[in-house]
Amino acid sequence: MQRKSKKKVQSTGKKIAVGAGIVTVSVAAATAASYLLTRSLVKVALDREAPKSSVRSKKKLSGSAKSGAYYEQREQAAQNLQNGDSMLVEIASRDGIKLIGHWHTCAHPKRVIIAMHGWRSSWTKDFGSISDFWQESDCNILYAEQRGQGASDGAYMGFGLMERYDCLDWVEWANQNGCADLPIYLAGVSMGASTVLMAAGQELPANVHGVMADCGFTSPHAIWQHVVERNLHIPYRGINGAIANDMCRKKIQIGAKDYSCVDALRQCRVPVLFVHGTDDRFVPIEMTYENYKACASPKRLFVVPGAAHGMSYLVDKEGYETVVKQFWQDFDA
């Protein structure tokens, strides 16, 4: 009886050991899969050279198909802006990155706009549609090419965390080149909107009179979570947030959770115009509501029914122009 009991104990022990081994292997595999997925998504978010798979799935990332009349209008407007007259400008950012801008001037400028485009986009695509309105409204315009994109240097994009300082460098350039007596407005679309909103939390020159933010997100971490869950349909618990934050910090010296538009807007002292379309599937309109609520300075909100991501101006030009003109009228002086 004692020998049989001993054998049964040994057998049970072996089963427990095997089971524990399977669990250990499963946990290790899950951890490895989570790490690889996290690393891949951070590369898609920040690296200049995106993985080929992300280029092919950009429509899925944005949550909307890029087709229809509005997108065709935007493509034509982008081409028109590309072919227009402008002066190529080059500056060095405070961390030594070469930044490229395109300077459009008018005969009798009333104000200056510093325009920051979005993630994996371009200055022509994001501002081609509205450029004629700005120029006809007597604006000098600096279209920046964001770091890590286009002709500007940099291996990484920063989701506004680094670009907010670039925005201030462009303001300094404008003031050193004959615009110190003109009101300056910081304008952005998508990641560019979050860039100018984050910049608004810094100490700004006195002639920066306002910010115009079209479909900006609240923070890098928040938009990553939204895209992963809603557009890619991957449970965010499969992403290691701590590792993503560390990877982000290694690439751009600041973590994805270390600063946000909400943080900046609580300190903001310049007027802000928030714009967003109700049908935005890339940056949800709720993020603009959250930013608007956090804003401590004079603020305006313009919501465009039916507008997809970055399409508010094309969907309602008259309404958009009316709101912007009123914003300038109230805050130019």
Q: What local confidence, expressed as pLDDT, does residue 37 receive?
A: 82
- The answer on pLDDT for 12 being more than 60 is no
Place of tokens 């270390």: 258
- Tell me the residue type at 105: T
| DSSP conformational letter for 47 | B
Across all residues in the chain, what is the average pLDDT? 89
Which element (helix H / strand E) includes 322?
helix 317-331
Taking residues 277-306, what's their average pLDDT? 98
Q: What is the pLDDT of residue 24?
A: 44
Lowest mean pLDDT among 12-21, 58-67, 127-136, 248-257: 12-21
| β-bridge pairing 208-214 and 139-145 | unpaired
Q: From the centroid of its chain, how far is CA 201?
A: 16
Phi, psi of 277 (to 5 degrees): -95, 145
Q: How many Å apart are CA 240 and CA 217, to the nearest integer?
A: 21
Closest CA to 291 of 269, 310, 272, 277: 272
pLDDT in tens, 168-179: 999 999 999 999
Q: How far apart are CA 74 and CA 175, in angstroms?
A: 31
Predicted confidence band of residue 93 (pLDDT cuts 50, 70, 90): very high
Pairing state between β 98-104 and 87-92:
antiparallel
Q: Kindly indicate the confidence band of residue 89, based on its pLDDT and cuts at 50, 70 and 90.
A: very high
Q: Is 263 exposed, middle or buried (0-12, 13-18, 19+ CB in 10 A)?
A: middle
Task: Reply yes or no on whether the pLDDT at 79 is more than 50.
Answer: yes
Mean pLDDT on 127-133: 98
Pull the structure tokens for residue 328: 């300038």
Contact indicator for 194, 175 with CB cutoff of 8 Å: no
Q: How confident is the model at residue 65 (pLDDT cuts 50, 70, 90)?
A: low
How large is the average pLDDT for residues 80-94? Answer: 96
R_g of the chain computed on alpha carbons = 24
Report the phi/psi class of residue 190: left, alpha or beta, with left for phi > 0 and alpha for psi in -120 to 50: left
Residue 6 has pLDDT above 70, yes or no: no
**Whether the Cβ atoms of residue 219 and residue 257 lie closer than 8 Å to each other:** yes
Strands 87-92 and 111-116: unpaired
Average pLDDT over residues 313-333: 98
- Between 25 and 8, whose confidence is greater? 8
Q: How far apart are the first and last CA of the chain?
A: 99
* Number of separate helices (H) and strands (E) present in the chain: 13, 8
Q: How sure is the predictor about 1, in pLDDT bands with cuts at 50, 70 and 90?
A: very low
Residue 202 neighbours by CB under 8 Å, 6+ apart: 164, 165, 168, 264
How many other C-beta atoms can be found within 10 angstroms of the C-beta atom of residue 172? 13
Q: What is the pLDDT of residue 243?
A: 85
**pLDDT tens across 272-291, in order?**
999 999 999 999 999 999 99
Check residue 5 and give its pLDDT.
53
Percent of the chain scoring above 90 in pLDDT: 75
Starting at the earlier edge strand, list the strands of the sheet with 98-104.
87-92, 98-104, 139-145, 111-116, 184-189, 208-214, 272-277, 299-304
* pLDDT, tens digit, 9 for 90 and up, residues 200-258: 999 999 999 999 999 999 999 999 999 988 888 887 766 677 888 899 999 999 999 99
Rounded to 10°, the helix 191-199/163-174 angle is 70
**Residues 47-73, mean pLDDT to the nearest whole number:** 71
Is residue 91 within 8 Å of residue 165, measured between CB atoms? no
Between the CA of residue 219 and those of 204, 266, 330, what are the distances in Å? Answer: 21, 14, 29
Say whether pTM exceeds 0.85.
Answer: yes
Q: Are 210 and 231 in contact (CB under 8 A)?
A: no
Q: How far is CA 80 from the centre of its chain?
A: 24
Go through the domains of the chain in sequence order and give each one's CATH number: 47-219+259-331 (3.40.50.1820)
Residue 327 pLDDT greater than 70, yes or no: yes
